[in-house]
Structure 1
Amino acid sequence: MSTIQTAPHDAMHDELNEFRRHLRILGPVQRRILSVLMPQLIALEEAGDADGALSIIEEVKSILWEGRRTRH
């Protein structure tokens, strides 16, 4: 396999690892919020609602960043 073919896979793997790291530092309230948002994200994606899905993704990002800022 060439580097070009593996680069997207490596980037996705890195993103998943980063998501998991952030998820481990979240508090219980943030985890509950994410547990509600994730099924909504999947439903929006399946319905083809890209704008709605992007909105949920932005909410998830803000929750993950909040966890990063408040973990100390």
Structure 2
Amino acid sequence: MTDPINTNFDESGAPPIGGDTMNKRLDCEHLDQMTDNWTDYQRPSFATALLRFFGNVFVDIFNAIFG
């Protein structure tokens, strides 16, 4: 005995992964226009990162000696 509720389904097979039926190709000639460029404006300069690194090393050595 069949279920009368589930009689309206397509038996042609599963849809492709992602649900997209069109075959889209990657446009390699205009790849830079297809992707978004993300710039971090809050990134510290190299000198700031270097000073933070050596400052942390100094603090760790100071705490190891006097702590």
Compute the TM-score of the two structures, normalised by the length of structure 2: 0.32
Highest RCO, 1 vs 2 (Cα 8 Å, sep ≥ 6): 1
- The structure having more radius of gyration, on CA atoms, is 2
Compute the TM-score of the two structures, normalised by the length of structure 1: 0.31
